[in-house]
Amino acid sequence: MAGFLPSLETFAKGTLATAATLSTVGAGLLYYGQNYLIYPSAFPPGSRTEDVPVPSAYNLPYEDLELKTSDGITLRCYMLPQSKQLSKTHTAATPVPGEDDQSEDEFITSRPTVVMFHGNGGNHGHRIPLAKVFYLRMRCNVLMVSYRGYGLSEGSPSEKGLQIDAQTALDYLTSNPYFSKTPIILYGQSIGGAVSIDLASRNPSKIAALILENTFTSLPSLVPHALPLLGPFSFLCHQKWDSASKVPLIPATTPILMLSGVADELVPKEHMRALWEVVARRGETKTAGGVEFSKGLERAKYMEFELGGHNDTCVQPGYWTAVADFVAELGDKQPEQSETKL
């Protein structure tokens, strides 16, 4: 298990900017300048030029994937398609029963596809250690999305722009002859969780499941917690990412795993708990006698990690076991809804 966990040193480049950015989100409320502070794509230095790690540096095969958005922006992403040869070439790769009896194409289509939406700091290359866990341990196809204005992708980031980017990534998968046959799982950290929720709310029949870590109910609602003195000016935040209003649009049959760091110093744990309450209510039906839950519809799980901060929840004991179990159980049709504290 230890071999799958990303080291804090390796992961630091991608997470350092999150702390620097959210701690200054109040300054971002200056209406015309907030995009530059909410989306610090050039920090740490080099994140838009030479410091864009590639999967091959981690001994992972991959394809450079260029996606053209509907508004003409080129996104330069990474695609890691599965291969049954991994069991023979990577000692860390988990064997899949029956893989030797399948062709390469059949094996790709038999595995889930994870779409990774990262936090607001650094670039997608800084999250390769996380992709490695999905790729080798869970044997998933992995699409690492590079938002506009991040990494080597063109353009400038914004809420509308990232929404287009996410839709472009999903459209690529659903139009691909192989990935379109796979269950599509969205994995979002921090603002990437908001991107995931938004995408799933607009494509309810195309998403098999969501995994959300340390995300928020909305950006304006985060301001009073992060910077209490600027709370009265939160209305100036035009980058909304209003996840709380979008979760009800995701079907109650769509499994959701929520992973919350109780010690998160940037996004208070109350945000994840509030989102969990909305997630848990997806199966509500109104009756003459009040409210009752539609039995058998809710498939969600909420987990808290007592020592998890905003940037290190993903290395807490039990995190990846929970993710791996969730991915493995997606084929289970039995309803599951529980709350766990670690």
Give DSSP secondary structure letters for 308-325: --TTTGGGSTTHHHHHHH
Q: How far apart are CA 261 and CA 125, in angstroms?
A: 23
Give the residue extent of every domain in the chain: 2-282+299-341
Peptide bond into 44 cis (omega under 30): yes
Residues annotated as part of the active site: 190, 264, 310
Write down the residue that tokens 């023979």 correspond to: 88
Phi/psi of residue 261, nearest 5 degrees: -90, 115
Q: How far is CA 284 from CA 9, 162, 208, 217, 298, in A?
A: 44, 31, 20, 20, 9
Q: How many residues are present in the chain?
A: 342
Across the strands, what pairs with 259? 213, 303
Full pLDDT tens readout for the chain, 342 residues: 555 666 655 555 555 555 555 545 544 444 666 788 789 999 999 999 999 999 999 999 999 999 999 999 999 999 999 999 998 899 999 999 999 999 999 999 999 999 999 999 999 999 999 999 999 999 999 999 999 999 999 999 999 999 999 999 999 999 999 999 999 999 999 999 999 999 999 999 999 999 999 999 999 998 777 666 656 667 778 899 999 999 999 999 999 999 999 999 989 999 999 999 999 998 776 555 555 554 334 589 999 999 999 999 999 999 999 999 999 999 654 444 445 555
The C-alpha torsion from 221 through 225 and 230 to 234, rounded to 10°, is 0
CA-CA distance, 73 to 169, in Å (whole number)?
Answer: 12
pLDDT on residue 20: 52
2-282+299-341: CATH, from 3.40.50.1820, 3.20.20.70, 3.30.428.10, 2.160.10.10: 3.40.50.1820
Q: In what order do the strands lie in the sheet with 74-80?
A: 63-68, 74-80, 141-144, 113-117, 184-189, 209-213, 256-261, 299-305, 336-341
Model-level pTM? 0.88
pLDDT score for 335: 41
DSSP for 89-158, written as a single string: H-TTSPP-TTGGGS-HHHHHHHS-EEEEE--SSS-GGGGHHHHHIIIIIS--EEEE---TTSTT--S---
Give the pLDDT confidence score for residue 295 in this predicted structure.
35
DSSP 8-class letter at 36: H
Q: What's residue 297's pLDDT? A: 40
